[in-house]
Amino acid sequence: MIQQETTIQEKAFSSNWWKESFLKTTNTLTKTSVFKDCISKDETALMREEIMSIVRLLCKLRTTQFGFRVFVDGKKLSYKQMNEVYDMPPKEGESVNSWAKRAFGDKKIGIIINRGEKLNNELATRMAYKISPLLNQVGTPLLGVNFTIFIGNYGWTPLGIHTDAPGESVTHFHLGPGDKTMYTWNKEEYEDLAGDKKFNNKNVEKFLPYANVHPFEEGDLYYMPPNEFHIGRSDELSIGLTLWLNNHQKKDLAKKLMNVILDQYLEESEDTMKPDKNPLEDLSAAEQALSLIKLPEDIKDLPFSEVMENVFKDYRYSLYSNSGYWTRPFPKEDETTYTLEDSFVLEKPFVMKYVETLDRKNIYIYVRGTKVVLNNHACIKTLIETINKGEVMTIKEAFAILDSEWDDNIGFYIINLLDTHNGIRKLS
Ligand SMILES: [Fe+2]
């Protein structure tokens, strides 16, 4: 039985399955489709537990920072009301049904969590294994992939009939235990019928006779391309993990790159500006702002377009080191202690990336979306390449690759950097 289930799963998310089943049925990501029995019941149960542990973490952090929103009987809980949720986290091993009953009684609930890929490393890794073969075939969306978690038994999606943001396509991994049904409409037909009431249309019953109906249950996948008018219905409590391919508008990428500059290179300063009393043609006051933008040495004198190209390069290497996820995991809170006798392995399926600065003085290593900067030594590149092969390595083997003149502390420092940012894992 176990053997059989393993075979089903390998089949469902293998490179060949994505190509021959998923991409063919969806007509290369353009057609709404349901795929039955892709995830075994054992695995959906595990994934539900991982999601419950995300809820537990958010309750512990007492934060809505990662897009944690709770709706009870259709009303979004206020900042203050969220405290009651934080005080009732799911217990270790508690099922979603049991927790929902304990925390909300018989009320209808809807819970949305936005940064799933950041909040549970096991789940992020599990999903990266599943979708990497797809991204290899369709390309990594330049604004990354992310997953949003929906938990609920709220009946109709409270938004009404709607389309998602331009360029977003979604694959819904349905984790049960309840079922869900999605309703979609032929665009022209629906727009004709609905006229100027087409967006966030809550008059659902009227349009149901014209809908395409897509029921699915625990273990199934539902794919929906951009621009599809839709609404979901879930009467029994269920969890959906929705994976988004973010091929948003081109201007969004431009803004993203500008934000990379702001995040990485704008120096913190609380100074207020001096009034500019110079003649109009004297531009020297600009220096007050320009002096705060600290571009790296190797790109600071390049023309603007080349600076932006290098910013894009930096952003892209970072994204690719994190299997396309648009947010990175939290760094480990406590530094892992390594001795010469220990061994470690790459945190697969993620691979670390590296690039030399243009002046070749430094090397940037990208670890699960975090950039670390080291002096450029050929032996560091060899070390990263060797770890990326994914085989178990001992610390001694790692140090044998590094410069033999170096003190062991340099080796431990590098290994700890990779470990803290979740690039490698110590084996016990
Ligand atoms: Fe939607």
**Which CATH number do you get for residue 238?**
2.60.120.650
Query: Which pLDDT band holds residue 5 (cuts at 50, 70, 90)?
Result: very low
With respect to residue 296, please indicate whether it lies within any of the assigned structural domains.
Answer: no
198 confidence band (pLDDT: 50, 70, 90)? confident
Residue 390: inside a domain: yes
Same domain? For 197 and 128 the reply is yes
Least confident window among 6-15, 252-261, 274-283, 316-325: 6-15
Residue 287 lies inside a defined structural domain of this protein: no
Domain extent, residue 329, equals: 302-427
Q: Is the pLDDT assigned to residue 275 strictly greater than 60?
A: yes
Out of 53-57, 201-205, 327-331, least confident range = 201-205
Q: 416 CA distance to ligand 1 centroid (A)?
A: 41
Within 10 A of 4 (CB to CB), how many other CB atoms are there?
A: 8
How close is the Cα of 182 to the center of ligand 1, in Å?
Answer: 10
Position 6 pLDDT exceeds 60: no
Q: Which segments of 149-203 does DSSP mark as H helices, in order?
A: 187-194
Rounded to 10 degrees, the C-alpha dihedral 418/422/427/428 comes to 110
Predicted pLDDT of residue 2: 45
Closest to 149 in 3D by CA, of 119, 106, 105? 119
Q: How far is CA 406 from CA 183, 212, 325, 400, in A?
A: 63, 66, 35, 10
- Residue 99 CA to ligand 1 center (angstroms) comes to 26
* 182 and 331 both lie in a single domain: no
Confidence class for position 118, pLDDT limits 50, 70, 90: very high
Residue 421 has pLDDT above 50, yes or no: yes
CA 144–ligand 1 middle distance (angstroms): 18
Q: How far does the centroid of ligand 1 lie from the alpha carbon of residue 165, in Å?
A: 8
**What's the rounded Cα separation, in Å, for the pair 125 and 102?**
30
How many angstroms does the Cα of residue 149 sit away from the middle of ligand 1?
12
Taking all residues of the chain, what is their mean pLDDT, rounded to a whole number?
94
Sheet containing strand 145-152, strands side by side: 33-35, 221-224, 168-177, 238-246, 145-152, 109-113, 69-72, 75-76
| Any domain includes 256 | no
Q: State how many domains the chain has.
A: 2
At which of 219, 246, 273 does a domain end? 246
* Domain-embedded: residue 19: yes
Q: How far is the CA of 228 from the centre of ligand 1 (A)?
A: 9
**What separation in Å is there between the alpha carbon of 229 and the centre of ligand 1?**
8
- pLDDT of 322 > 60? The answer is yes
**Per-residue confidence band for 74, with pLDDT thresholds at 50, 70 and 90:** confident
Is a pLDDT exceeding 50 seen at residue 180? yes
* pLDDT over 80 (residue 3): no
As a whole number, mean pLDDT of residues 313-324 equals 97
Is 269 inside any structural domain?
no
Residue 87 above 90 pLDDT?
yes
How much is the average pLDDT of 331-350?
A: 96
pLDDT band at 1 (very low <50, low <70, confident <90, very high): very low
Q: How many angstroms does the Cα of residue 313 sit away from the middle of ligand 1?
A: 32
Q: For 398-423, what is the mean pLDDT?
A: 97
**231 and 313 share one domain:** no
Q: What is the mean pLDDT of residues 161-178?
A: 95
Which CATH number do you get for residue 323?
3.40.366.30
28 CA to middle of ligand 1, Å? 20
Q: Are residues 105 and 216 in the same domain?
A: yes
Ligand 1 center to 230 CA (angstroms): 7
Among 214, 246, 278, identify where a domain stops. 246
Question: Where a domain ends, among 246, 264, 283?
Answer: 246
Candidate from 5-9, 125-129, 292-296, 417-421 with smallest mean pLDDT = 5-9
The Å distance, Cα 94 to ligand 1 centre, comes to: 29
Decide: 369 and 418 in contact? Cβ < 8 Å.
Answer: no
In this prediction, residue 157 carries a pLDDT of 87
Question: What mean pLDDT comes out for the span 174-190?
Answer: 96
What pLDDT is recorded for position 119?
95
Q: What is the pLDDT of residues 341-388, one digit of tens each?
A: 999 999 999 999 999 999 999 999 999 999 999 999 999 999 999 999
Confidence check: pLDDT of 155 > 70: yes
What are the residues whose beta carbons fall under 8 Å from the beta carbon of 2, sequence distance 6 or more? none
Q: Are residues 57 and 127 in the same domain?
A: yes
**Same-domain pairing of 131 and 223:** yes
pLDDT number for residue 22: 97
Residue 4 has pLDDT above 50, yes or no: no
**Of 346, 389, 314, 332, nearest in space to 125 by CA:** 346
